[in-house]
Amino acid sequence: MSEIEKKLTMYTTAWCPDCRNAKRFLDSHNIRYEEINIDEDPNAEALVIRESGGRRVIPTINANGKYLFNPPLALLARELNIE
């Protein structure tokens, strides 16, 4: 398992279609991640808002300390070195 897989966290909500797409993408590439629902975790919501510059952007993905805010799947693939 690569380092990025060890430290991938995705901040989501249950109702977000972009979150579902990102999860399907990661699952299809067997990428492990921790999912945190920001509707259920106020601390996670505050983190997303702080890291995004004041916006509640989902999905927010933390890959080894680098935050990606609702990234297109092509960008996510590049960041995770998925071909």
Given pLDDT bands bounded at 50, 70 and 90, which one contains residue 6? low
Give the 3-state secondary structure percentages of the chain, helix then strand then coil, rounded to 5: 40, 20, 40
Q: 58 — phi, psi (to 5°)?
A: -135, 145
The 10s digit of each residue's pLDDT in 17-43 is 999 999 999 999 999 999 999 999 999
Range of the domain at 20: 3-79
What CATH number is associated with residue 41?
A: 3.40.30.10
Q: Domain count of the chain?
A: 1
Q: What is the pTM of this model?
A: 0.90
Distance CA 41, CA 9 (A): 14
Under the phi-then-psi rule, with left for phi > 0, alpha for psi from -120 to 50, and beta for the rest, what region is 65?
left
